């Protein structure tokens, strides 16, 4: 992503920070631009802090607590000047919100700082719904399948917010069999247990195709990356878009 025109200075309290996430920054920058457009449509002043890095989830999930704490301290320092932090990923939002405080013992000054950042961190879809976002146009109502993702269901409980936003966009509830089941990505899980991961991903694709949906939308790009990789290798005629990309479609 091109951040050259974004200020690298402390943000005033009324600025909202967009925490882009590693995967989106490296592999799907258009989802970040769509997120910026959505937040801008609410009349908010949005900043993308240049110093943001990985949220530390790979180290945390791998049991490397000290490395995760080091990353968390950095992110806390970067994000605490902002009044609110918006994350276009249930996975990374869940890490900041649910797990940063647990990295530090009660009484440690970093614990309270982590709690403060956690309390103002929002997954994108829940933030848009809370702020009263309204679409500028509707989308094709029959084509989309919504992969809700484990993180949006269990880390941020924001999958229903995404469903509501899609409904406002003109896309009705797109239930398919085993919609609540993991797609098999799970970060390091997909590399440690690749055969299981592939079977889970293929099952998800089969279930989506069983209800004649050929476009897949999700608020977690990791899931989309995993599913799209499987679909492309198998020649499945499916399209994959981040929720933010769908919501800004004209």
Q: Where are the domains of the chain?
A: 16-128, 136-247
Looking at residue 8, its pLDDT comes to 44
| Confidence (pLDDT) at 11 | 53
Dump pLDDT digits (tens) for 175-219: 899 999 999 999 889 989 999 999 999 999 999 999 998 999 999
Band of residue 12 on the pLDDT scale cut at 50, 70, 90: low
pTM of the predicted structure, to 2 decimals:
0.92
| Three-class secondary structure assignment of the chain | CCCCCCCCCCCCCCCEEECCCHHHHHHCHHHHHHHHHHHHCCCCCEECCCCCCCCCHHHHHCCCHHHHHHHHHHHHHHHCCCCEEEECCHHHHHHHHHHCHHHCCCCCHHHHHHHHHHHCEEEHHHHHHHCCCCCCCCCCCCCEEECCCHHHHHCCCCHHHHHHHHHHHCCCCCCCCCCCCCCCCCCCHHHHCHHHHHHHHHHHHHHHHHCCCCEEEECCHHHHHHHHHHHHHHCCCCEEEEHHHHHCCC
């Amino acid at each position: 992503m091109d951040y050259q025109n974004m200020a690298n200075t402390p943000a005033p309290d009324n600025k909202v920070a967009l925490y882009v996430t590693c995967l989106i920054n490296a592999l799907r920058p258009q989802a970040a631009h769509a997120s910026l457009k959505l937040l801008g449509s609410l009349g908010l002043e949005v900043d993308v802090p240049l110093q943001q890095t990985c949220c530390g989830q790979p180290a945390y999930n791998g049991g490397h607590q000290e490395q995760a704490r080091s990353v968390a301290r950095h992110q806390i320092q970067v994000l605490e000047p902002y009044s609110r932090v918006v994350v276009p990923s249930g996975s990374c939002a869940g890490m900041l919100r649910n797990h940063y405080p647990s990295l530090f013992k009660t009484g440690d000054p970093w614990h309270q700082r982590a709690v403060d950042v956690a309390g103002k961190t929002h997954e994108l879809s829940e933030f848009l719904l809370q702020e009263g976002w309204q679409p500028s146009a509707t989308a094709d109502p029959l084509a989309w399948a919504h992969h809700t993702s484990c993180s949006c269901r269990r880390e941020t409980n924001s999958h229903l917010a995404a469903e509501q936003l899609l409904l406002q966009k003109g896309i009705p509830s797109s239930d398919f069999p085993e919609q609540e089941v993991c797609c098999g990505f799970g970060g390091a899980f997909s590399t440690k247990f690749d055969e299981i991961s592939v079977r889970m991903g293929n099952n998800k694709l089969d279930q989506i195709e069983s209800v004649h949906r050929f476009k897949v939308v999700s608020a977690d790009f990791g899931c989309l990356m995993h599913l799209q990789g499987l679909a492309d290798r198998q020649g499945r005629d499916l399209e994959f878009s981040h929720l933010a990309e769908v919501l800004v479609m004209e």
